[in-house]
Amino acid sequence: MIDWSSWLFDGLLAVGLLLLAWLTVISADLFRAILFFIAFGLFMALCWARLAAPDVALAEAAIGAGISGALLLDAYRVLSAPTLAAAPALSRLPGLLALLLGGVTGALSWVFWRLPPPVLALDELVQARLADSGVSNPVTAVLLNFRGYDTLLEAAVLLLPLVGVWIINRQTPAPLESIPVGVTDSPLVDTLVHLVTPLAVLSGAYLLWAGAHQPGGAFQAGSVLAGAGALLLLSDRLRPTATPQALLILGLILGLVIFCGLALGVMADGSPLLRYPPAHAGLLILVIETALTISIALTLLLLVSGAAGLRWGRRW
Amino acid sequence: MNPTLLFLLTAAGLFGIGLYGLLAYRHPLRQVLAANVMANGVFLVFIALARRGLANPDPVPHAMVLTGIVIAVSTTAFALAIIKQLHRTSGSPDPASAPPPSAAVDS
Amino acid sequence: MTWLEFGFPWLTTAIAWTLIILGALFFMAGSVGLLRFPDVLTRLHALTKADNLGLGLICLGLAWQAGFTPVAFKLLLIWLLALLSSSVSCHLVARYVLHAAAREQRRD
């Protein structure tokens, strides 16, 4: 009985994913394609939860579906009358292409069918050293301790698209649009901001703290805080500016600087890069994650809003 | 056929669908959507492989996919900024219709 | 919550399933409206009304199955927060549409 229902659920998930992906790619109307993509992202989040990856599910729902969706809809608005997208402009023989890609899919499927059983049980290795890592959530331990080098580089890579967007917007200044004041001075908006902003900060801080022993961590917390920031921008409490402020730049590079500093700092008594002393590993990871949360939140907020800087808007 | 294989085959399908969208359409926004579908297919391969018959799921692919999701969103934001800029300067988002870069690059 | 089962041990699950399926149907109606309606205001109407009710029913169904535990309280909180944010964002979008329409009229 259990087997039948879980097969049904997995099967429906798989069919739903493929169907939504197909509709995303094939829809004649670009707006609908974006909506299908958002739904696809949320289905993926469900899939991650099903495959026992709650950290990834949290991140996908917030970042993958939420922020990606907002970015795509904003781009759609700028491209307002799509000149090319009314009818799908196929550049080559669609039939031949579909056949070719059916071949690629078939080849991949054959590889997966013939996959040998796993040789290296990384899970056991992680569990064996989890006590030394300073946290009890294995994903956080891998992200911030065992594979900390990857996360260090990621903190740097995260800043690059932001700098790229700034360069592009500086070459041809994009009109800095903020919501017209006549729209946002409504008591409903005031209530929402007053209620939701503290709750968002609280849940972001909780996600950061709980990442040590439960699904959570810097990325999830950062995306919640970016959402709160987007709310402030939408309700005119924050206004976009064309150039970044010094404090903002400090916040953006805070994660990278502190991570680098601590990674190099532990070398002071002769240990290799990023080898935290096990006695203080928990504290070090918390400090690094806090700095990363701030940087990630600011980076995502600036990417979504398209602004280069922020200043306070009207009264609170 | 176990659940892992089901999700792996789904991921192969997603990769194929995304690749088709990327190659068959010329509108850059559609290509961004298709590339994101492909990326999600790759992430699904990682997470499905992490679940292969182990007692607890393997956390290393989880960490990699977490990193991948964040980087994918950042790259999407950059690509969309380029597309919006193309649309503003040349009237259409198609890179083929963009004006050629001027000889003198001003700072 | 055994006293609510009226002697049938499967009643809890049955009620929870019914509520969840009803919620899913409302969500589907809202999504169809989002895709098929012609302009922003009608889409907003379909989306927020149907989705709020759908989410409420799903949360109620899950809370019913969870019994009188902190999980049920968290589910109720999720519904209230989603209700708050979706209704205010609907309000904002509608105001923006009216504002833009008024600006168009003044220009003509």
Reported as a single tens digit per residue, the pLDDT across A288-302 is 999 999 999 999 999
Interface confidence, given as ipTM, is 0.90
In chain A, pLDDT over 90 holds for what percent of residues? 36
Beta strands in chain A (DSSP E): 238-241, 309-312
Q: What is the pLDDT of residue C4?
A: 53
Put simply, the answer to whether A10 touches B75 (Cβ < 8 Å) is no
Q: With an 8 Å Cβ cutoff, are A35 and C96 in contact?
A: no
Residue type, B54: L
Nearest to B51 among A51, A146, A219 (CB): A51
Q: B59, A126 in Cβ contact below 8 A?
A: yes
Residues A164, A170: Cα–Cα separation, whole Å? 10
**Using an 8 Å Cβ cutoff, are A47 and B51 in contact?**
no
Higher pLDDT, C68 or B71: B71
The answer to whether the beta carbons of residues A37 and A69 sit under 8 Å apart is yes
- Please state the domain extents for chain C: 7-107
Find the CB nearest A63 among B33, B52, B73.
Answer: B73
Average pLDDT score over chain A? 85
A-B Cβ pairs (cutoff 8 Å, strict): 270
Q: In angstroms, rounded to a whole number, what is the distance separating the alpha carbons of residues A297 and A251? A: 9
Nearest to C35 among A35, A179, A189 (CB): A35
Q: How many CB pairs under 8 A join A and C?
A: 35
Token pair, residue C6, equals 């009226």
> Are residues A192 and C88, on separate chains, in Cβ contact within 8 Å?
yes
State the pLDDT at residue C36: 87
Q: From the list A35, A180, A192, which residue is nearest C34 (CB)?
A: A35
For residues A221 and A211, is the Cβ–Cβ distance under 8 A? yes
In three-state secondary structure terms, A108 is helix
Q: Quick one: what percent of chain A has pLDDT higher than 70?
A: 92
Q: Which residues contact B70 (CB under 8 A, 6 or more apart)?
A: A59, A63, A154, A158, A219, A296
Beta carbons within 10 angstroms of residue C103's beta carbon: 11
Torsion of Cα atoms, C93 then C97 then C98 then C103, to 10°: 140
**Chain A contact present for C35, CB below 8 A:** yes
Domains of chain B: 3-93 (1.10.287.3510)
pLDDT at B104: 47
Cβ atoms of A215 and A54 within 8 Å: the answer is: yes
C84:A192 CB<8 A:
yes
Chain B residue closest in CA terms to A120? B58
CB-based contact A78 B88, cutoff 8 Å: yes
CA distance A173 to B88: 10
DSSP character for B46? H
Whole-model pTM: value is 0.88
A188 in contact with C at a CB cutoff of 8 Å? Answer: yes
Question: CA of C99, closest CA in chain A: separation in Å?
Answer: 7
User: What is the model's pLDDT at position B36?
Assistant: 95
Distance (Å, whole) CA A57 – CA A51: 9
Query: Nearest residue of B to residue A80 by CA position?
Result: B87
Confidence (pLDDT) at A130: 84
Asked if C92 lies within 8 A of A183 by C-beta distance, the reply is yes
> Can you point out the beta strands (E) in A180-273?
238-241
Q: Is the pLDDT of residue A81 over 60?
A: no
Contacts of C91 in chain A (CB under 8 A): 186, 188-189
Instruction: Tell whether the torsion through CA atoms of A85, A88, A92 and A97 is positive or negative.
Output: positive
- Asked if C73 reaches chain A (Cβ–Cβ under 8 Å), the answer is no
Q: Provide, as residue numbers in chain B, all residues whose Cβ is less than 8 Å from the Cβ of A33.
A: 30, 33
Closest-approach residue (CA) in chain B for A153: B67
pLDDT tens for A12-51 read: 999 999 999 999 998 888 888 998 999 999 999 999 999 9
Which pair of tokens denotes residue A76? 């759609």
Which has the closest alpha carbon to B94: A306, A91, A93, A74? Answer: A91
Q: Rounded to an integer, what distance in angstroms lies between the CA atom of residue A26 and that of residue C45? A: 27
Do B38 and B76 contact (CB within 8 A), yes or no? no
For the segment A262-273, the average pLDDT, to the nearest whole number, is: 83
Residue contact B93–A84, C-beta within 8 A:
yes
Please tell me if residue A179 touches chain C, with a CB cutoff of 8 Å.
yes
Separation of alpha carbons C48 and C31, rounded Å? 10
At A241, list the tokens: 């500016």
